[in-house]
Structure 1
Amino acid sequence: MTKLYRLLACNLLCIMLAATANAAGLEEKVREHTMKNGMKLLLVERHSSPTIAAWIRFRVGSVDERSDERGLAHLLEHMLFKGTTTLGTKDYAAEKPLLDKIEATAVQLMDEKAKREKGDPARIASLKKELGQLEAEAAKFVVKEEFAEIYAKNGGSGYNAFTSKDGTTYLINVPANKLELWAAIESDRMQNAVLREFYSERDVVMEERRRSYDTEPEGQLWENFIAASYHAHPYGQPIIGWMSDIENLSRTKAEAFLHKYYAPNNAIIAIVGDIDTDRTIALVERYFGAIPQGTPVAPVAVTEPAQDGERRIEILADAEPNLIIGFHKPTLPDPDDYVFDVIDMLLADGRTSRLYKKLIVERQMATDVGSFSAPGSRYPNLFVISATPRAPHTTAEVETAIYEELGKLQREPVTEHDLRQILNRLEYEEVRQMGSNGGLARNLTEYEAIAGTWRYLIEHRQKVARVTPEDVMRVAKKYLTRENRTVGFITKKGAEK
């Protein structure tokens, strides 16, 4: 055994032992507490630094919107930074009547516009002018970014939020001695949020849509690819909403959605860091315990019909070619989902993966290649392979090369050596992801919401370890088929002939 090999083997052993110890330790360290109003707390004490990561995950995302609500979850992500009845305002008692007038005027304007060619242009112009005047008057009461300013003055960092198909998350890192400040701010936001500046923020989201999708070829490709992949299930709808969806969102609709779902029984809170668990539970109970429950988020009843033929989407644009291929697949806890974790890592995880070596190193026909599951995880999703051709190679050439590698998965058993390498990489990645307070808080809230238990973090690698070469061949034959795939690609204008 060479010195280099002994060193690599030692490093690998250390990683594996650390991952095993970390998983075992996590089982002992995570404290669960469910409050009477249904809020779930997941707490982990880590005293390596005097800081805390606090994540709030709501089990409501864009998949839970009705057809007349598309884009609401994303817009509410923006709006919940605007403040409450006490924060973000100089005088809420004086501000509220103006907000009510703004809403009444905006609804009239939307109703008139909805008449299309039968709408009265003069009335539309008059209502627009009135709305602008009311918004200018209401702006005098607004205190911009007061949440962020308070957190920043008290040592907070990473204050952010994100919306997905499956949920909405708000996060912050604070010094350990500022946990009560966090509890005061976030409990106030959960029960007293005010959606001020709603229509100006709606305009911001519309501009975001124009910039990221309508005028961005890769954004257009992804949006149309997902829409083509799902004909019935709401996973096919964009998180941000279509432009006409956003244009017809009202503050009244947003408030109804907010009060219905953004409530303790639909919330999971993870607090990781320099805490005393019992004191933290008591603190959270004191600030959040009296907040009433909302409506539980019901499962989406629609089931996507089985695809019975290849679907192809082409975007003509003044942009470089790009390729996306998606195959319908089950999601967790279906055993085949764990097989796809193996297929994902085998095909496109790192420089030793099959697609990287074949497309980028050996044949030099692509500049990048990747694979992932999308667009969500609560419901059956897609296994997606993406690649960017390298000139003079075309998307068609790259597509053919990808199918060649998928064919090998269907015909040739994966070696035990390959499976061991995948487990080693999984263990390393788990250690890396859970190394920070924020990384652990994210994983705890994510898997508690999606898998129904944070213990997925511990169980995942154990289940992947049971995947056999025969499983990989079976799943590849079952799902990675022509009739089950959707293909999207960008063709550069002028090159389509």
Structure 2
Amino acid sequence: MRYSLQLLFFGFWLISQLAWGASAQSTEDTHEYLLSNGLKLIIKEDHRAPTVAHMVWYRAGSIDEFNGRTGVAHVLEHMMFKGTDKVKPGEFSRLVAAEGGRENAFTSRDYTAFFQQVEKSKLSKVMQLEADRMVNLSFDDTDFAKEIQVVMEERRLRTEDNPDSLLNESLMATAFMSSPYRHPIIGWMNDLVNMKASDARQWYQNWYAPNNATVIITGDVDPDKTYQLVEKYYGGIRAHELPVRKPQLEPEQKGVKQVHVKAPADSAQLVMAWKVPRLQPDNINNDEPYALELLAAVLDGYDNARLNRTLVKQVRLADNVDAQYDMISRGPALFIVGIDLAKGKTIAQAEAGIRKVLAEVTDKGVLDSELKRIQTRLLANQVYKRDSIFGQAMEIGGFEMAGFSWKDLDTVQDRMQQITSAQVQAVAKKYLIDSTLTIAILDPQARQSAKVGVQK
């Protein structure tokens, strides 16, 4: 399964040092350790309820795949539930449920993660199960042959029978020439058809190691005792050399790209995507990604934001419109504006409408009062996220996988609040230009009605 993540990370304190057998760093409620085998451990205390979230993040996603083997990261996520020498196939989920917990996993372009949420006294049990499959995963060719059929059916249902997914898949494949982001996370169907159990086993052997993993534990825990548990279950797992990650830099785009997709759908869609910079771990004070994040919120950050107010409510050009930008990622970033056309409206009208809204920002800028309301709203949203123990673990994990540290979160919060209206206008003018634009158009086709036989 996949979670759609728009990652803004906020709100921790400055660093102080602790003395431990493993190297350790700590704040008032967040503690980081590095085990001798390279495993990173982050513990965030939250004592409001007697529950805990336990997550293992592997820095291996579809960005690490190659042509001919796309989708293998997601397939291996499925195979991780097929058992070990100690746990029979299907038993992992049953054992967690027997403890009153919930569990699942998800694969993204940048990582694969596994989690359990349990009552705090059950942490030791789920940790033992997760550590076991980090090193002892076992599945035969028959198990794989059955599961790959499940994944192929998932692709049919979620992508091939879904016009939104088909359009997004074609957009990414058109926008990027070299970056692995051009491949779908679930993989191309032909690669799934030809995938072997040995491909999944090799992926496991390559990337599933403590020195490529981060364990994140949030909730009602004692950090000292929790560290001891992690050392007990994970500390004895050997590190191994990881494959070399070679850069796959995207060539400079020098003109508009366009792709048309024909698929059964109720209405036409238009997506416009511009290549823009992302936030870099070694340049976290670069204001442009923060300004782009705020630009997306100006356009689509609340009900009466500019795109919705103009194109949906006023001129009734669209049934739905949105703007997306994720400044936290391992690979290249896109600034995306998408629109579901209202009945009777054309693609040309939709593109003209979007360009008009964007021109108002590039030509006239953003009101200081408008920007301040958005900044306040974003800050409030981060506070609300802290009501979720699982949400806290998700924020930390996504940030760490992109090469940042949870210790940078205060910087992200502060920089976002310092961005000015002039900076938002500047990034709109600089980056929303045709030379970096990719356009994807959904041409709706009539849906085939099912034929029902009548027995006489």
Q: Tell which deviates more after alignment, 338-347 or 309-318.
A: 309-318
1:231 aligned residue (177, 190, 205): 177
The 8 Å contact of residues 84 and 189 in structure 1, kept in 2 or not, is answered as yes
2:119 aligned residue (175, 190, 193): 175
> Residues 387 and 487 of structure 1: is their aligned pair in 2 closer, same or farther, counting only changes over 3 Å?
same
Query: 2:379 — aligned with what?
Result: 427
Query: 1:75 — aligned with what?
Result: 75
> Residues 287 and 346 of structure 1: is their aligned pair in 2 closer, same or farther, counting only changes over 3 Å?
same
The 8 Å contact of residues 165 and 376 in structure 1, kept in 2 or not, is answered as no
> Can you list the C-alpha shifts for 1:104-152, whole angstroms capped at 9, x where unaligned?
xxxxxxxxxxxxxxxxxxxxxxxxxxxxxxxxxxxxxxx4x21111111
Query: 1:408 — aligned with what?
Result: 360
Could you tell me the TM-score, scaled by structure 2's length? 0.88
Query: 1:46 — aligned with what?
Result: 46
Q: Tell which deviates more after alignment, 248-257 or 185-194.
A: 248-257
Q: Does 2:324 correspond to 1:324? A: no
CA distance in 1, matches of 2:95, 2:78: 18
Where do 5+ consecutive residues of structure 2 fail to align? 1-8, 15-25, 281-285, 447-456
> Residues 413 and 49 of structure 1: is their aligned pair in 2 closer, same or farther, counting only changes over 3 Å?
same
Instruction: For 2:261, give the aligned amino acid.
Output: I
CA distance in 2, matches of 1:456, 1:322: 38
Query: 1:373 — aligned with what?
Result: 325
The 8 Å contact of residues 60 and 297 in structure 1, kept in 2 or not, is answered as no
Instruction: For 2:99, give the aligned amino acid.
Output: N
The 8 Å contact of residues 64 and 300 in structure 1, kept in 2 or not, is answered as no
Q: Tell which deviates more after alignment, 413-422 or 319-328.
A: 413-422
Query: 1:56 — aligned with what?
Result: 56
Identity of aligned residues (%): 32
2:425 aligned residue (473, 482, 485): 473
Q: Does 2:134 correspond to 1:190? A: yes
Instruction: For 1:170, give the aligned amino acid.
Output: F
Query: 2:450 — aligned with what?
Result: none
The 8 Å contact of residues 447 and 456 in structure 1, kept in 2 or not, is answered as no
> Residues 295 and 69 of structure 1: is their aligned pair in 2 closer, same or farther, counting only changes over 3 Å?
farther
Q: CA deviation at 1:443?
A: 0.6
Q: Does 2:104 correspond to 1:160? A: yes
The 8 Å contact of residues 345 and 353 in structure 1, kept in 2 or not, is answered as yes
Q: Tell which deviates more after alignment, 466-475 or 23-32.
A: 23-32
Instruction: For 2:216, give the aligned amino acid.
Output: A
Matches within 5 A, 1:252-331: 252-296=198-242, 298-319=244-265, 320-331=267-278
Q: CA deviation at 1:254?
A: 1.3
CA distance in 2, matches of 1:362, 1:342: 23
Q: Which has the higher helix share?
A: 1
Q: Does 2:166 correspond to 1:214? A: no
Q: CA deviation at 1:24?
A: 4.4
The 8 Å contact of residues 279 and 328 in structure 2, kept in 1 or not, is answered as no
Q: CA deviation at 1:317?
A: 2.3
Instruction: For 2:249, give the aligned amino acid.
Output: T
CA distance in 1, matches of 2:99, 2:404: 34
> Residues 467 and 240 of structure 1: is their aligned pair in 2 closer, same or farther, counting only changes over 3 Å?
same
Instruction: For 2:159, give the aligned amino acid.
Output: Y
CA distance in 2, matches of 1:265, 1:382: 30
CA distance in 2, matches of 1:444, 1:37: 21
Residue 28 of structure 1 aligns to a residue whose secondary structure is coil
* Residue correspondences, number: 420
CA distance in 2, matches of 1:57, 1:478: 36
CA distance in 2, matches of 1:208, 1:242: 12
Residue 123 of structure 2 aligns to a residue whose secondary structure is helix
> Residues 50 and 35 of structure 1: is their aligned pair in 2 closer, same or farther, counting only changes over 3 Å?
same
Q: Does 2:92 correspond to 1:147? A: yes
> Residues 85 and 36 of structure 1: is their aligned pair in 2 closer, same or farther, counting only changes over 3 Å?
same
Instruction: For 1:191, give the aligned amino acid.
Output: V
CA distance in 1, matches of 2:246, 2:153: 30
Instruction: For 1:337, give the aligned amino acid.
Output: P
Residue 239 of structure 1 aligns to a residue whose secondary structure is coil
Instruction: For 1:185, give the aligned amino acid.
Output: L
CA distance in 2, matches of 1:243, 1:227: 14
